[in-house]
Amino acid sequence: MTVAVPLEQQGAAFPRGLARYGRPAGIALLILALGFLTLYPMAMLLYGSLHSTPPGMAGEFNLDGYANLATEENFQALINTTILSVVKTVLSLALAILLAWIVARTDTPGRGVLEVLITLPFFIPPILTATAWAMLGNAQVGTINLAWRWLTGSEGTLVDVYSYGGIVWHMMQYSTPFIFLFIVDAFRAMDPSLEESSRMSGATRWQTFWRITFGLMLPVTTSAFLLSFIRGMESFESAVFFGTPVGIKVLTTQIYDLITQRAQPDYQGATALGFATLALMFLLLVVQSRVLRGRSFTTVTGKAYSPNVTRLGWMRWVTFAICVAFFVLTVALPVGQLILSSFFQFFGFYQLDMLTLDHYRSVWENRQFWGAFGNTLLLGFLGATATMVLGGIIAYITTRTTWRGRRLIDILAWLPWMMPGMVLGIGFLWGFAILPHAVPIYGTLWALLLAYVALGTPVAVRVTSGAYAQIAKDLEECSRVHGAGWWQTLGRILVALAWPAFAVGWVLIFFGIMRELSASILLYVPDTEVLSVVMLKMWNGGKPEAVSVIGLVMLVMVLIFRWVQLRFIKRRISTL
């Protein structure tokens, strides 16, 4: 009872102040921080969309930006974008759920290795997979078509990646692993008795999967769906690479053209289009919160359970085959292409006399690369960690409390995801540049760090709130009653239980930072060069093979990170 004395004093002295000021102050601080990260650049953009000239120039307020949106071209682009995004998201979601179920809830052989391998495509810079697929699937001399012609003797074309299908396929290379990573731990952490009781009630395996497993996973799957769908609406690389040659326009190419294809860049039009997109996305959010309202998705409870896997019998070879097929199609082909071409003088020209280690040497000896790599690692570690901390707190407040202001926080945390990256980058540039010169943000690493945290927060919040939603509330209350404070409980119970989700979120954000270009290129200065900028330089300097080498370096990092993380997760899960 000796410890009880200070506790008692503390309890007597502070509760009034804590209750009355502590929480509102905390909320206010959080809203302020989030406001600076998200609302501030957004406000700059809003100004831009309502003003005839960008910030810092004389002009007038008008609605021309919005009025000029209603063109047939924009309408066509909106339809294209929506169709592309819906198709790719639905397909990816279905595939990702299937894969997550196979990996987490069945006894499919080799699923531990598969889990790491099938996520690899997500971490390859899009320009590299696009190049790889362009070589594999072009109509004229694509490897797949050549093989098809050789096999069948026909003159026809089996696949053409320069098409709607090509765009969808390329986007799926990213969205499927993304959604998979997002949902797999939720599948893993589920109490099997929930499924078993469904089977005992006479439901078939398929009914059980659909009505119970999938139903319980709704918060996390709808979150993943939304994140992925919105990202699809903002996707640029796939559409430009595979769409431009066949005249497919999307929203982001329209925005890009407004900025780059005018004697006077039309920032008003570009930001207005950005906000119009944002408004559409916002409607989706409202729908999601309606769908999820008032339902419980607790699957991790304080009761005993053993996370059993379904024994599939001979069927497990079918699921195994599905995984392998996915692996071959989305990983082995493009990654193999990358590895192969990194040893040849030219991407796609595999002649023995062109074998070389020059690309590795050129990257190894590139001082710029190492400087940027160091900066990016620093930003990645700091940024991903800070983002997960921020996201974890926001998710806690929005999912576990009834505090006033939590809806606002939730919305603030969504905003950066709903604004196309190239527009948001401009918002950061404007916002940070006009700060008083005494604030050391513009032109420093801070500018990049803050932008990265803002850009990563939506993912962090979604990942963690999905995980929190699964954790029974009494596990947390039990901790409070037994003497742990709010922060202790957050750290030792919630975060500890949601740790797999935190790990995944961290990796997603870390590699998001490694890849981010739109904001980076507007905010970096020579001292703070980052990897994505160096990769752009190499690409534009005609060195796609060197970019492949960097891409492979990133893949090795992913493998190491995931391997370490999964070892920890598995150790924990195996004790469950």
Partner 1 sequence: MKRRTVLGLLAASPAIVRSAAAQTDDWAKVVEGAKKEGKLLIYTASIGSPFHRTVITAFEKKYDIKVDLLEARASEVRERVRVEQSAGRFLGDLHHNGSTTTGMMQRDGNFQPRGFVPNVKNIEAPYEADDIKIPAEVISYCLLVNKNIVKPDDEPKSWKDLLDPRWTGKILSDDYRALGGGAVFFVVMQNTFGREFHEKLAAQKPVFARDIQNSERRTARGEFPLYLPFSLQNLNNLKGLPVKAIVPAEGRPYVRFDLSTLKNAPHPNAARLFMNHYLEPESQLVFANAGYNPVIKGVVEKTLPEIRPLLATKALGTTDYTKQDEMLALAKEIYK
Partner 2 sequence: MPSVTLQGVGRHFGALKAVDSVDLAVEHGEFLTLLGPSGCGKTTTLRMVAGLERNDTGTIVIGGRTVSDAAAELFVQPDQRKLGMVFQSYAIWPHMTVFDNVAYPLSVRRLPKAEIRTRVMTALRLVEMEAYAERPAPALSGGQQQRVAIARALVFEPEVLLLDEPLSNLDARLRSQMGDEFRALQRRLKITTLYVTHDQEEAMALSDRVVVMDKGRALQVGAPETVYRRPASRAVAAFFGAPNFIDATVRECRPEGDSHVLTIEGAGAQGECRTAQAQRPGDTVLVMIRAEDVALGRSNEPARPGQLVWRGRVTDGVFRGSRRSLAVDALGRRFNVECPATRAAAVGDDVTLKVDAENAWALSG
Instruction: Determine if 57 is a binding residue for partner 1 (CB under 8 A).
Output: yes
Instruction: Determine if 109 is a binding residue for partner 1 (CB under 8 A).
Output: no
**β partners of residue 344:** 355
- Where do the DSSP E strands lie in 11-131? none
Instruction: Determine if 549 is a binding residue for partner 1 (CB under 8 A).
Output: no
Q: From the CB of residue 364, how many other CB atoms can be counted at a distance below 10 Å?
A: 11
CB nearer to partner 2: pick between 264 and 575:
575
Contacts of 145 (CB under 8 A, 6+ apart): 137, 138, 139, 157, 158, 159
How many binding residues for partner 1 (CB under 8 A)? 58
Contacts of 164 (CB under 8 A, 6+ apart): 83, 84, 248
Judged by beta carbon distances under 5 to 8 A according to partner kind, the member of partner 2, partner 1, none in contact with residue 4 is: partner 2
Instruction: Determine if 371 is a binding residue for partner 1 (CB under 8 A).
Output: no
CB nearer to partner 2: pick between 164 and 499:
499
Instruction: Determine if 71 is a binding residue for partner 1 (CB under 8 A).
Output: no
Length of the chain: 576
Instruction: Determine if 540 is a binding residue for partner 1 (CB under 8 A).
Output: yes
Contacts of 503 (CB under 8 A, 6+ apart): 565, 568, 569
Given the rule CB under 8 A, which of 167-175, 371-379, 495-503, 524-532 is the region that contacts partner 1? 524-532
CA 186, CA 219: separation in Å to the nearest integer?
Answer: 10
Judged by beta carbon distances under 5 to 8 A according to partner kind, the member of partner 1, partner 2, none in contact with residue 304 is: partner 2
CB nearer to partner 2: pick between 66 and 305:
305
Instruction: Decide: residue 141, CB within 10 A, 0-12 exposed, 13-18 middle, 19+ buried.
Output: exposed
Q: Which of 522, 554, 555, 558 binds partner 1 (CB under 8 A)?
A: 522
CB nearer to partner 2: pick between 15 and 374:
15
Instruction: Determine if 375 is a binding residue for partner 1 (CB under 8 A).
Output: no
Q: From the CB of residue 472, how many other CB atoms can be counted at a distance below 10 Å?
A: 17
CB 576 to partner 2: min, Å: 5
CB nearer to partner 2: pick between 10 and 201:
10
Instruction: Determine if 263 is a binding residue for partner 1 (CB under 8 A).
Output: yes
Side chain identity at residue 385, one-letter code: T
Place of tokens 């570690």: 381
CA angle, 351 then 357 then 358, to 5°: 100
CB nearer to partner 1: pick between 246 and 318:
246
Q: Which of 304, 349, 571, 575 binds partner 1 (CB under 8 A)?
A: 349
CB 81 to partner 1: min, Å: 17
- Please give the structure tokens belonging to residue 377: 């690692």
Instruction: Determine if 155 is a binding residue for partner 1 (CB under 8 A).
Output: no
CB 101 to partner 1: min, Å: 37
CB nearer to partner 1: pick between 141 and 283:
141
Instruction: Decide: residue 52, CB within 10 A, 0-12 exposed, 13-18 middle, 19+ buried.
Output: middle
Report the SS3 class of residue 471.
strand
Q: Which of 345, 382, 553, 570 binds partner 1 (CB under 8 A)?
A: 345
Distances (CA, A) of 562 to 171, 462, 499, 531, 538: 22, 20, 13, 21, 28
CB nearer to partner 1: pick between 17 and 542:
542
CB nearer to partner 2: pick between 4 and 79:
4
Report the SS3 class of residue 369.
helix
Judged by beta carbon distances under 5 to 8 A according to partner kind, the member of partner 1, partner 2, none in contact with residue 492 is: partner 2
- In the structure, how many helices (H) and strands (E) does the chain have? 31, 0
Q: Taking CB under 8 A as the criterion, which residues in 399-458 touch partner 1?
A: 426, 429-430, 433-434, 437, 440, 442-444
Q: What is the 8-class DSSP label of residue 123?
A: G
CB 128 to partner 2: min, Å: 38
Contacts of 200 (CB under 8 A, 6+ apart): none
Q: For residues 390 and 453, is the Cβ–Cβ distance under 8 A?
A: yes
CB nearer to partner 1: pick between 183 and 426:
426
Instruction: Decide: residue 313, CB within 10 A, 0-12 exposed, 13-18 middle, 19+ buried.
Output: exposed
Instruction: Determine if 265 is a binding residue for partner 1 (CB under 8 A).
Output: yes
Judged by beta carbon distances under 5 to 8 A according to partner kind, the member of partner 2, partner 1, none in contact with residue 345 is: partner 1
Distance of CA 252 to the CA centre of its chain: 18
CB 88 to partner 1: min, Å: 21
CB 380 to partner 1: min, Å: 21
CB nearer to partner 2: pick between 47 and 486:
486
Contacts of 99 (CB under 8 A, 6+ apart): 118, 176, 180, 184, 322, 323, 326
Instruction: Determine if 156 is a binding residue for partner 1 (CB under 8 A).
Output: no
CA 377, CA 529: separation in Å to the nearest integer?
Answer: 12
CB 164 to partner 1: min, Å: 16
CB nearer to partner 1: pick between 242 and 320:
242
- Binding footprint of partner 2 on the chain (CB under 8 A): 1, 3-4, 7-8, 10-12, 15-16, 18-20, 300-306, 472, 474-475, 477-486, 488-489, 492-493, 496-497, 499, 572, 575-576
Contacts of 312 (CB under 8 A, 6+ apart): 106, 107, 108, 318, 319
CA angle, 372 then 382 then 437, to 5°: 75
CB nearer to partner 2: pick between 393 and 453:
393
Judged by beta carbon distances under 5 to 8 A according to partner kind, the member of partner 2, partner 1, none in contact with residue 305 is: partner 2
Instruction: Determine if 354 is a binding residue for partner 1 (CB under 8 A).
Output: yes
Chain residues that interact with partner 1, rule: CB under 8 A = 54-57, 127, 130-131, 134-135, 138, 140-141, 240-241, 244-245, 247, 257, 259-265, 267, 345-349, 354, 426, 429-430, 433-434, 437, 440, 442-444, 521-522, 524-527, 533, 536-544
